[in-house]
Amino acid sequence: SQTIHQWPATLVQPVGSPLSLECTVEGTSNPNLYWYRQAAGRGLQLLFYSVGIGQISSEVPQNLSASRPQDRQFILSSKKLLLSDSGFYLCAWTRPSGGGYTFGSGTRLTVV
């Protein structure tokens, strides 16, 4: 069966520090991978998606970047965090043909 792992679960970082959130998927090949941010416990904003190694599409210009160094690994990064980067970050995957998502358990990031 397929599983998705996302870590860390919570993170408190000072303004200006770097960020690296990792997401891995097991039990499938060539998944579509996604990073979403949820602010204030409500709406989800698509940040990045990837349909293959090294292929990243950015939906919203911002202080963050994403990379996909391996087929089942998706990393969200920042060189210098801003207060506005605080939020709940969710990784998700779908089969290459698309369809419904499976979400990770999320990372709550607080920038102080």
* Inter-residue contact 58 to 40 (CB < 8 Å): no
Residue 26 binding other proteins, by CB under 8 A:
no
CA dist 44 and 39 (Å) reads 7
Taking the complex as a whole, the smallest distance from the CB of residue 79 to other proteins amounts, in Å, to 25
Nearer to other proteins, 18 or 55 (CB): 55
Residue 7 near residue 22 (C-beta atoms within 8 A):
yes
Residues that bind other proteins (CB under 8 A): 6, 32, 34, 36, 41-44, 46, 49, 51, 59, 88, 90, 92, 94, 98-106, 108
